[in-house]
């Protein structure tokens, strides 16, 4: 299916759940609300004409100090979907506030989301409601803070020396 | 100078000579420097000429710890444990700029030089170091082994 048609179908089905859509050089993006996100993801996977069987990436962006984002929500969680059957792609974004950084999990839809979401929690401190095992993925358990947040000092050191128990 | 002093200094020399040509290394390879380490170890550069041709993959059988590649803070306890498991006498070579100083990985994840964790005898800078640099470092280590006060 054509990218514009996917966005049109999404908007027709979810209405105000889709906040905005745009495309950039053929990459189509839909920004959805947090409340609509589980339904949108499940529909994208299960609707036969979309058939997004594969979650190619799940990551986050910290827009702190980003030009033009001074008063918006601080984080965006980004989903990249790919359909093997139809060879089309879709990017979904959900805006997340700093005061309440929680997003519904996608583990029950795509098991790969398990480690993706653990990485996002580790690096950005965005939690995923319903995740079965939300531990740090890359850093060690004793690590304090979330290093890919823009307010994490670049020269901060947290050395871990000595065997862990 | 009594005969005893003469005897022990000559014995030190003999043991140093033997030790410098029987370097059993433990390659602690974590990153891309490993390629250059392999190039040095293989026949073209052939560190077997310096008696360092046999890597031991157990720290208890090794004399020299080659730390090859970036060490993250998560890896640091493992490196410390491997060093502690090695028996005396033991030496450490920091192979590549990441192990020497952290290199350009000036970030939250990387140890800024392994000498913050374990003592280091020879630093081989370079990203990665050429085999010639590695052999130069190895020969400096041999000089150090041969001339130091031997404990046995």
Q: What is the pLDDT of residues B112-151, one digit of tens each?
A: 888 888 999 999 998 889 999 999 999 999 999 988 887 7
Q: Is the pLDDT of residue A165 over 50?
A: no
The answer to whether position A82 is within a domain reads yes
CATH of the domain at A53: 3.30.460.80
The answer to whether position A145 is within a domain reads no
The answer to whether position A98 is within a domain reads yes
pLDDT, residue A70, reads: 78
**Considering CB atoms only, which of B77, B80, B108 is closest to A152?**
B108
CB within 8 Å: A160 and B106: no
pLDDT, residue A30, reads: 93
Instruction: Kindly indicate whether the ipTM for this predicted assembly is greater than 0.85, answering yes or no.
Output: no
Q: Is the pLDDT of residue B1 over 70?
A: no
Q: How far apart (Å, rounded) are the C-alpha atoms in residues B79 and B68?
A: 11
Q: Is the pLDDT of residue A164 over 60?
A: no
The answer to whether position A93 is within a domain reads yes
Neighbours of A145 (CB within 10 A): 13
Predicted confidence (pLDDT) per residue in B3-50, tens digit? 666 666 788 888 888 888 988 989 999 988 989 988 988 889 888 888
State the smallest CA–CA distance between residue A76 and chain B in angstroms. 22
From chain A, the residues in CB contact with B73 under 8 A are 140, 143, 158-160
Percent of chain A having pLDDT more than 90? 61
The answer to whether position A94 is within a domain reads yes
Q: Is the pLDDT of residue B89 over 90?
A: no
pLDDT, residue A38, reads: 92
pLDDT, residue A163, reads: 55
Through-space distance between the first and last CA atoms of chain B, rounded to whole angstroms: 22
The answer to whether position A158 is within a domain reads no
Q: Is the pLDDT of residue A67 over 90?
A: no
Q: Which domain holds residue A37?
A: 3-129
Predicted confidence (pLDDT) per residue in A82-100, tens digit? 999 999 999 999 999 988 8
Q: Is the pLDDT of residue B90 over 70?
A: yes
pTM: 0.81
The chain B residue lying nearest A163, using CA atoms, is B77
Token pair listed for B67: 């730390």
DSSP string, B47-99: GGGGT---B-SSGGG-SEEEEES--BTTTHHHHHHHHHHSPSS-EEEEESHHH
Q: What Rg, from alpha-carbon coordinates, does chain B have? A: 16
State the smallest CA–CA distance between residue B112 and chain A in angstroms. 9
Contact (Cβ atoms closer than 8 angstroms) between residue B47 and residue B135: yes
The answer to whether position A153 is within a domain reads no
Preceding omega of B128 cis (within 30 degrees of 0): yes
Instruction: Write out residues 115-154 of A within 8 Å (CB-CB) of B.
Output: 138-140, 143, 147, 152, 154
pLDDT, residue B46, reads: 87
The answer to whether position A91 is within a domain reads yes
pLDDT, residue B52, reads: 85
State the smallest CA–CA distance between residue A69 and chain B in angstroms. 26
State the smallest CA–CA distance between residue A155 and chain B in angstroms. 6
Predicted confidence (pLDDT) per residue in A22-54, tens digit? 999 989 999 999 999 999 999 999 989 999 999
From chain A, the residues in CB contact with B74 under 8 A are 138-140, 160
Q: How far apart (Å, rounded) are the C-alpha atoms in residues B68 and A22?
A: 47
Q: What Rg, from alpha-carbon coordinates, does chain A have? A: 17
pLDDT, residue B93, reads: 93
Number of domains observed in the structure of chain A: 1
pLDDT, residue B5, reads: 64
pLDDT, residue B106, reads: 87
pLDDT tier, B2 (very low <50, low <70, confident <90, very high otherwise): low
| Interchain CB contact of B92 with A (< 8 Å) | no
pLDDT, residue A68, reads: 81
């Amino acid at each position: 299916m054509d990218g514009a048609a996917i966005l049109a179908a999404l908007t027709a089905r979810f209405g105000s759940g889709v906040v905005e859509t745009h495309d950039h050089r053929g990459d189509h993006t839909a920004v959805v609300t947090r409340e609509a996100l589980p339904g949108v993801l499940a529909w994208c996977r299960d609707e036969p004409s979309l058939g997004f069987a594969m979650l190619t990436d799940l990551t986050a962006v910290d827009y702190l100090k980003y030009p033009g984002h001074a008063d918006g929500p601080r984080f965006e969680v980004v989903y990249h979907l790919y359909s093997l059957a139809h060879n089309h792609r879709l990017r979904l974004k959900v805006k997340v506030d700093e005061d309440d950084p929680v997003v519904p999990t996608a583990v029950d839809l795509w098991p790969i989301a398990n480690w993706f979401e653990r990485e996002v929690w580790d690096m950005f401190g965005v939690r995923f409601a319903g995740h079965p095992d939300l531990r740090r993925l890359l850093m060690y358990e004793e690590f304090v803070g979330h290093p890919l947040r823009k307010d994490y000092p670049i020269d901060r050191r947290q050395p871990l020396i000595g065997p862990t128990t | 100078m009594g005969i005893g002093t003469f005897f022990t200094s000559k014995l030190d020399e003999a043991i140093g000579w033997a030790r410098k040509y029987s370097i059993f290394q433990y390659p602690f390879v974590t990153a891309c420097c490993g390629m250059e380490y392999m190039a040095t170890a293989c026949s073209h550069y052939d560190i077997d000429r310096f008696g360092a041709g046999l890597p031991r993959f157990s720290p208890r059988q090794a004399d020299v710890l080659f730390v090859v590649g970036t060490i993250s803070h998560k890896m640091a306890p493992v490196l410390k444990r491997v060093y502690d498991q090695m028996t005396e006498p033991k030496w450490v070579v920091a192979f590549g700029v990441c192990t020497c100083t952290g290199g350009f990985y000036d970030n939250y994840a990387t140890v800024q030089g392994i000498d913050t964790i374990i003592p280091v005898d020879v630093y081989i800078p370079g990203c990665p170091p050429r085999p010639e640099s590695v052999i130069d470092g190895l020969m400096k280590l041999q000089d150090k082994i041969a001339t130091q006060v031997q404990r046995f």
